[in-house]
Amino acid sequence: MQGHEPPPATPAGSAAAPEGAPPVPDQADLTEAVRQLKRASVLVVGDAMLDRYVYGAVRRISPEAPVPVLAVEREVAMPGGAGNVVRNLTALGAAVAFLSVVGDDQAGSDLTGLVGGQPGVEPWLLVQGGRATTTKTRYIASGQQMLRADHEIIRPVHQRLADRLVRIATDTVAATSVMVLSDYSKGVLAGDVPARLIAAAKAAGRRVVVDPKGEDFSRYAGADIITPNRAELALASGLPIDSEEEIVAAARALRDRHGFGAVLVTRSEDGMTLLEGDAVHHFPAEAPEVHDVSGAGDTAVAVLAAGMAAGLSLPLAARIANIAGGLVVGKVGTAVARESDLLEALTPERGALRKVLRRAAAAEQVERWRQRGWRVGFTNGCFDLLHPGHVHLLEQARSWCDRLVVGLNADSSVKRLKGPTRPIQPEAARAAVLASLATVDLVTLFEEDTPVELIHLLRPDVLVKGADYTVDQVVGGELVQEWGGVVKLAELLPGNSTTATVARMRG
């Protein structure tokens, strides 16, 4: 990760606004600001956790005790805590250095692998013998969380590890533009560690964003911005926070007491309030619907830090962080906001094209459907010149599921399979036509010759191909059947063929 000075601040491009109102950049300014987030380089220091999700079905009550029996179907693990801040930063395309402490256990090994496997991350996960890596395991059935089990040790890390962590941060901070302290009160940022880290950042001329915990905010004195939620603000300030005026007064008291540069209060369904200098900006909530608030604070901190690192003004960075927070609470589980998500939120007029998603975003969407108990179907093809045979197949496929995903061969894949003169239409046009069909709920492209990797990622309940195949010939059929899904063969309409159509066009 190469050191560099933060780029110059980008004008907010705001129109005239009433005193106390946030700047109102137009859509072009917001879109350009979002695209700059990938330029960010951020150092994250804090409590890393392992989030495990165990999904299954409940069909009976245990004969041993009056408790439901969860028939486990699959398990998912991902970085949590400060690791989720890192995950959100990498989702934006930012470069990240990450410093934390894990235990010498399997969870620590798993977490190290998950963090190190993310693009653009330079991980420094120090290992403390005898310490349990914080692990939160959630048991979920039919989209509802039944139980959460936590495995952790909440006490300061060994002093020698704390000293080593500060030394590494001191050496690393100059190679980044912003330092984030993500405190979950698990022991990494205990004692004087935050003060030493803030001093190191200031000595390097770098700004510090703190996501705090507890009631003693003096530990973060001198931070450039602190991001408490409403409850944390009340606890740390000792003041009432029942109105906007009281929230501003409490934020101002904290700022003046501890020398913070600014305070961004996250207020759940009421949005955010930013106190910067004498200016107060209120950002209304941007969430169209709320499914899960898990990790929304991490997303807001990550986007805020990326915006600051990319040179955006603080109100503009906070505005985008507010939009990002609204996006993730509309998703199920600990989610992230990608550049594509933010751009889509800023351009709702895209209409049917909103169904066209990159692979990772498609996997998240399928997971949200699955959490709602919906049956997900999948079919694939080149769909070069859409004809009645294609439409008939898609109609049948949609009748066998609640939501239908179409895996579309990318141009490179079509050329390898069909020859150098194909496709007739480029992938963007083919995807747009498919997305315009009411029977299609999501379109995602794959570069490979077969969709097996995509099928493995999405784990559909129903896999559909034309009846010119047999079940044992369908690519991915064995996989789908292994996890309890089914393979369906759709009836074909005779006389419909893209290859024959192309031949007729060419005489």
88 annotated as belonging to a binding site for a ligand: no
How many other CB atoms are found less than 10 A from the CB of residue 299?
Answer: 28
Q: Give Cα 459 to chain centroid, integer Å.
A: 19
Q: Which residues contact 399 (CB under 8 A, 6 or more apart)?
A: none
Structure tokens at 213: 């915990």
CA distances from 409 to 221, 264, 395, 401 (A): 54, 45, 20, 22
- Determine which one of 105, 183, 298, 441 is catalytic: 298
Query: What is the spatial distance between Cα 469 and Cα 184, in angstroms, rounded to a whole number?
Result: 54
Structure token pair of residue 351: 């209409």
Using DSSP, state whether 484 is helix, strand or coil: coil
Q: How far is CA 39 from the centre of its chain?
A: 18
Q: Give the number of other Cβ atoms within 10 Å of residue 482's Cβ.
A: 8
Instruction: Give the sign of the dihedral formed by CA 352, CA 377, CA 383, CA 448.
Output: positive
Q: How many CB atoms lie within 10 A of CB 53?
A: 20
At 337, the amino acid letter reads: A
| 33 marked among binding-site residues | no
Active site residue 51: no
**Cα separation, 342 vs 416, whole angstroms:** 34
Contact criterion met (CB below 8 Å) for 128 and 99: no
Buried b (16+ CB within 10 A) or exposed e, 8-39: eebebbbeeeeeeebbebeeebbeebbebbeb
Strand bridging mode 178-182 / 207-211: parallel
Determine if residue 222 is left, alpha or beta; phi over 0 gives left, psi from -120 to 50 gives alpha, anything else beta.
left
Whole-angstrom Cα distance, residue 405 to residue 459? 11
| Helix/strand/coil for 405 | strand
Instruction: Tell me the C-alpha distance between 16 and 292, whole Å.
Output: 35
CB 453 within 8 A of CB 368: no
What is the distance between the alpha carbons of residues 279 and 281, in angstroms, rounded to a whole number? 7
Distances, alpha carbon 201 to alpha carbons 133, 160, 181, 258, in Å: 27, 20, 11, 17
Binding residues: 229-232
Active centre residues (catalytic): 298
Binding residues for ATP: 229-232
